[in-house]
Amino acid sequence: MSWVDKAPLPVIALSSILGCIAISMPLMGFYRWTTPFFGVVLSGISGAIIVFMYVVLFAYAAWGTYNLRIRAWWCGFLLTIVYDISMGITFFRVSLGKFYQKMGVPKEYLEIIQGFDMFRDPRIVILGGLTIVAFLGFFIYAKRYFGASAR
C-alpha cells in the first residue's frame, strides 16, 4: 500500500499545499523575518516568532489533514482566513515600498517599487481575492472526505 492510498486525492493536494506553505515560510529569514501582521510590518525577533507560529500551525494542518483529522482541517481553514485578513489589513495601511524597505531591499530597487504599488491596483486586488475564494472553496470541497464527524 502506497502513502497516496491513505487519503483521497483532493485531501493529498490540500495537505501538500499546506505543507508547502509551512516549508516555504522559514525563507522569510533571508529577508529579516519581515511579515505582515494585522496592519503593521514585523521584522527581526517579533517577525520570526510570528513566522514560526505560522510554520507550526500550517505544518500541523498539513499533517493532520493528510491523516483526515477534522481539527487539523479547521486549523488550516481558519489559519488561511486569518493570514489573508492580516495581509489585507497590512497592505491596506502600509505601502509595498515600506514593506520592502523593512526587508532590507537596496535603495535603488525601492525607488522602482515605490512607483508600482500593486496592492493599490484594483485588478490585482480582485485577482488576489478570487484566488483566496477559490482556495477556500477547495478547502470546503475537500472537507467532504473527513467523514460524518466533519459535518
For residue 1, is it within any domain? no
For residue 79, tell me if it sits in a domain. yes
Residue at 2 is within a domain: no
Which residue blocks in the chain are alpha helix, DSSP H? 9-24, 44-66, 70-93, 96-103, 107-114, 122-142
For residue 49, the enclosing domain spans 7-145
Instruction: Write the pLDDT tens digit of every residue in 50-93.
Output: 999 999 999 999 999 999 999 999 999 999 999 999 999 998 89
Helices 96-103 & 107-114, crossing angle to 10 degrees? Answer: 160
User: Is the confidence at residue 150, as pLDDT, over 60?
Assistant: no
Question: Domains in the chain: how many in total?
Answer: 1
Reported as a pLDDT band with limits 50, 70 and 90, residue 119 is low
Task: Report pLDDT for 97.
Answer: 83
Higher pLDDT, 118 or 138: 138
**Start-to-end Cα distance in the chain:** 29
Residue 35 phi/psi, 5° resolution?
A: -150, 145
Q: Is the residue at 150 inside a domain? A: no
Contact call for residues 1 and 55 (beta carbons, < 8 A): no
- In a domain? residue 68: yes
Whether 46 maps to a domain, the answer reads yes
